[in-house]
Structure 1
Amino acid sequence: MAELLKKMSEINAVSGNENDIRNLIIAEIKDNVDDITVDTMGNVIAYKKGSDSGKKIAVAVNMDEPGFIISGVTEKGYLKFKAVGNIDPRKIISKKVVIGADKIKGVIGMKAIHLQTKSERENVVAVSKLFIDIGAKDKEDAEKYVKLGDYVTFDTEFMQIGSNVKGKALDRSGICTSLIDAIEKEYKYDTYMCFLVQREVGARGAKIVSHRINADVILSVSSAETADMYGCESNAGVKLGDGAVVNFEDRTIIADKEITEKMIKAAKKAKIKVQPQVLMPQTSDGGAMQSGADGAICLSSSVPCRYSHSPVSVMSLDDINSMTEYIRLFLNKIGEMI
């Protein structure tokens, strides 16, 4: 698992630029499914035929990550950029990045503190005030290496720390790894394993896939920010290492309560570690998939993640494994529950 997770994390897959991660996913799953479709947006829909075609079951994860896009070059050779997706600008100053297909190295910079105004020191600096330094002499020199529209991601080395891992984009890498592992098993019903694009800019891929497959029931899998770190006022909330999160509700979906309760009960009986949660602050692709086409029964689950949408995040390998087991349980038991 850790080896695949490392490959996932170190691939660059900013929303709209998912080619490399898509190729890796297809290579990993092609021998364990009956058909793979890549739609016009770039979503991967892997079909696995079951012994009963009476129901269509789907599991959905996103494969993109937030990042940046080059929007200009100054006369002095600094690169201007805009955010793609939701990233806190307080977390990105002085961080290493890679740019474009050639993976040009750079660092996100801003004026040194003794050159800043009082307002700049006391307030969150806007992305428009930041720049990327690639060591270019001037604009002409910089344009030899980068161009307008090049994507930018954090340059973070993946590392295992005991039963945890740290790296970039673990929020999408962990859930993709869980689904890939779950695909290896056989299931009763026709199943669609969906790896979605452009979640970080508005669940765009999910909207297309929901119409294409028109599933009867969907499990939407995302990541969940943990509340077990320094500075959180309460011990309540998601904890790293306590298993897969089962959501009754997030900001985009109200999950089917009766089936969610049945899944929690079944998970505990199967000794799968789960964390039931209500009113999660995160969003997911679930809302777009639930309301697409003819509508669908939708459940929501997440893998705990610390520091998501930042240069480095932390996940538990045990939680990723719990999610794999939970997906397998869903695919084996959901036919009895609907």
Structure 2
Amino acid sequence: MELRELTSFAGVSGGETEVRNAIMKELEAMGVPFETDVLGNVIARKGDSGPKVLVDAHMDEVGFMIVHIEKNGFLRFRPIGIPASVMVSKRVFIGKDKVPGVIGAKAIHLQQPRERESVIPVDQLFIDIGAKSKEDAEKKVKIGDYAVFDTEFEELSPGIVKAKALDDRIGCAILLDILKEDWTGIRLYAVFAVQEEIGTRGARVAAYRVAPDLGLALEGTVCADIPLADKDAYATKIGHGAAISFMDRGSLPSRAMVAQIMKLAKENNIPVQYREATSGGNDAGAIQAARAGCPVASISVPCRYIHTPFALASLADMKAAKDILVLFLRSVEGGFRP
């Protein structure tokens, strides 16, 4: 499945049905066996012998939930993983019928000078779907509906793409590609996880179920190689290869696994970089701490502007992430152990 298609699906944390169904349909077409759990994780498997290796990519994306409908038909919402600073005047789709709307606020002409100098808080924002009344709005949406940004996938320049939900549909795309390979010396568990953005909940449940010998998280990660940013705070740089974590808020990756990844990258001329930031976290933390614990590592694709309507990523970096993951898994088949 192409990245373009994967990013088009709605899948806010807790409401991953659309993207999950698409991934399960793809797995069925590929002939890859899979199962789901109570939370909604999709767990695919290949290989019948060797160590259990869990490779995770989360399906969910940031978005909104409708929490109230005003008498005049405007919708109140709560954000899921999105800062208020990027919301105003953005187009959204609401619910399974993808009802179009716009996030609105008091007109700038009516704002006091001090209001114009600060971020408009969420409780002063609303979604306008053009409804004339609460009854009119309720014909199209209901409380509890999820909303996602209305963003089209686009290649802005050769190899640089713009889309919503690159965090982490870019990891899902890589994981689907990995499942096209034959795996015989490992028991590969490919987990398409839910609810990463609200506390790595899906990965925690999946890792408990699988009880892996080692785990890897595939992620779209922060990238701040932009004007005015301190070069020491870039974290990662687009076009410089897959990003390898040495520490983040949720996990301390295995030094042996990181060393093996860097060694394989050097030997095979695969571009990689360290993720030079320790903020944030991903499903690796949940995998590492499940049951009796296991060694983990994170392989990420740098994405500018994650958790906003538009993220940018390099297809070359995505390829590098896939290539180094395949080589690492082959090395585990060949006997590498952390």
Is residue 192 of structure 1 aligned with residue 189 of structure 2?
A: yes
Is residue 94 of structure 1 aligned with residue 89 of structure 2?
A: yes
- Identify the range of structure 1 (191-200 vs 17-26) with the bigger mean alpha-carbon deviation: 17-26
| Unaligned stretches of 5+ residues in structure 2 | none
Equivalent residue for 1:320? 318
Equivalent residue for 1:237? 235
Is residue 217 of structure 1 aligned with residue 236 of structure 2?
A: no
Distance 1:260 1:8, change over 3 A: same
One of 43, 46, 66 as aligned partner of 1:45: 43
> CA deviation digits over 1:148-199, x for unaligned, max 9?
1111000011111211111111121111111111111112211100110000
Matched residue SS, 2:269 = coil
| Unaligned stretches of 5+ residues in structure 1 | none
Q: Which amino acid aligns with 2:147?
A: V
Q: Which amino acid aligns with 2:35?
A: T
Matched residue SS, 1:194 = strand
> Aligned pair count?
333
Q: For residues 160 and 277 of structure 1, what CA distance do their matches in structure 2 show?
A: 25
One of 301, 322, 334 as aligned partner of 1:303: 301
Deviation at 1:31, TM superposition (A): 4.9
Deviation at 1:278, TM superposition (A): 4.4
Q: For residues 31 and 186 of structure 1, what CA distance do their matches in structure 2 show?
A: 16
Equivalent residue for 1:133? 128
Q: For residues 337 and 240 of structure 1, what CA distance do their matches in structure 2 show?
A: 31
Is residue 336 of structure 1 aligned with residue 332 of structure 2?
A: no
Identity among equivalent positions (%) equals 40
Equivalent residue for 2:28? 30
> CA deviation digits over 1:88-126, x for unaligned, max 9?
111110000011111111000000112123442222211
> CA deviation digits over 1:252-310, x for unaligned, max 9?
10011122112101111112111123443231011111001121111112110011111
Is residue 177 of structure 1 aligned with residue 152 of structure 2?
A: no
Q: For residues 316 and 150 of structure 2, what CA distance do their matches in structure 1 show?
A: 25
Distance 1:269 1:183, change over 3 A: same
Deviation at 1:243, TM superposition (A): 0.9
Deviation at 1:25, TM superposition (A): 1.3
Distance 1:279 1:228, change over 3 A: closer
Distance 1:36 1:281, change over 3 A: same
Matched residue SS, 2:197 = helix
Is residue 247 of structure 1 aligned with residue 245 of structure 2?
A: yes
Q: Which amino acid aligns with 2:219?
A: S
Q: Is residue 179–residue 327 contact of structure 1 (8 Å, CA) maintained in 2?
A: no
Is residue 124 of structure 1 aligned with residue 119 of structure 2?
A: yes
- Identify the range of structure 1 (23-32 vs 237-246) with the bigger mean alpha-carbon deviation: 23-32
One of 14, 20, 23 as aligned partner of 1:16: 14
Q: For residues 7 and 254 of structure 2, what CA distance do their matches in structure 1 show?
A: 32
Deviation at 1:251, TM superposition (A): 1.2
Structure 1 residues 272-287: aligned runs within 5 Å: 272-287=270-285
Report the TM-score when normalising by structure 1: 0.95
Matched residue SS, 1:13 = coil
Is residue 288 of structure 1 aligned with residue 286 of structure 2?
A: yes
Matched residue SS, 2:264 = helix
Q: For residues 147 and 34 of structure 1, what CA distance do their matches in structure 2 show?
A: 37
Deviation at 1:35, TM superposition (A): 2.2
Is residue 202 of structure 1 aligned with residue 199 of structure 2?
A: yes
Q: Which amino acid aligns with 2:174?
A: S
Equivalent residue for 1:65? 61
Deviation at 1:208, TM superposition (A): 0.3
Matched residue SS, 1:178 = helix
Distance 1:114 1:41, change over 3 A: same
> CA deviation digits over 1:2-36, x for unaligned, max 9?
x7111111111001111111111122233556520
Distance 1:94 1:47, change over 3 A: same
Is residue 159 of structure 1 aligned with residue 154 of structure 2?
A: yes
Equivalent residue for 1:79? 75
Q: Is residue 97–residue 106 contact of structure 1 (8 Å, CA) maintained in 2?
A: yes
- Identify the range of structure 1 (70-79 vs 24-33) with the bigger mean alpha-carbon deviation: 24-33
Q: For residues 276 and 154 of structure 2, what CA distance do their matches in structure 1 show?
A: 32
Deviation at 1:54, TM superposition (A): 3.3
Q: Which amino acid aligns with 2:150?
A: D
Is residue 260 of structure 1 aligned with residue 263 of structure 2?
A: no
Distance 1:167 1:277, change over 3 A: closer
- Following TM superposition, the consecutive aligned residue runs of length 4 or more in structure 1 with deviations greater than 4 angstroms are 31-34
Q: Is residue 78–residue 131 contact of structure 1 (8 Å, CA) maintained in 2?
A: yes
Deviation at 1:216, TM superposition (A): 0.4
